[in-house]
Amino acid sequence: AQTVTQSQPEMSVQEAETVTLSCTYDTSESDYYLFWYKQPPSRQMILVIRQEAYKQQNATENRFSVNFQKAAKSFSLKISDSQLGDAAMYFCAYRSARRANSKLTFGKGITLSVRP
């Protein structure tokens, strides 16, 4: 079974600064997808960024980028130029590429606060 670990329960960043959220995972599969979701107080799960395991290039979406280290099974999220609206809970998630097992497996999440 796949597992996703987010070992930092909370982090804080100064507005306009950069912060990195850590995530590791365990799998025996070679083909899979990784995601970061943001959950603000509204509870809506919002996709931040996704990465296909077969791609060596790290995904980027505006101020958000990942550091995907497949051999180390590490998938960290970097938020640049942090904004007050980035404050939320962030979840790392794994999805197998096998159609028979396509659910998302989540980490426990990390609460990010942004200091003005």
Minimum gap (Å) between residue 99 Cβ and other proteins: 5
For other proteins, the closer CB: 64 or 106 = 106
Maximum distance among all Cα pairs of the chain, rounded to whole angstroms? 46
* The pair of three-digit structure tokens given for residue 52, joined into one six-digit string: 């296909």
DSSP letters, 36-57, are EEEE-TT---EEEEEEETT--S
Per rule CB under 8 A, is residue 101 in the interface with other proteins? Answer: yes
For other proteins, the closer CB: 18 or 60 = 60
* The pair of three-digit structure tokens given for residue 38, joined into one six-digit string: 């943001």
Q: Exactly one of 18, 108, 113, 115 binds other proteins (CB under 8 A); which one?
A: 108
Minimum gap (Å) between residue 87 Cβ and other proteins: 15
Q: Exactly one of 41, 72, 99, 116 binds other proteins (CB under 8 A); which one?
A: 99
C-alpha to C-alpha distance for 114 and 12, rounded to whole angstroms: 6
Subset of 10-49 contacting other proteins (CB under 8 A):
33, 35, 37, 42-45, 47
Closest CA to 68 of 89, 82, 86, 54: 54
Question: Which residues are near other proteins by CB under 8 A?
Answer: 33, 35, 37, 42-45, 47, 50, 52, 91, 95, 97, 99-109
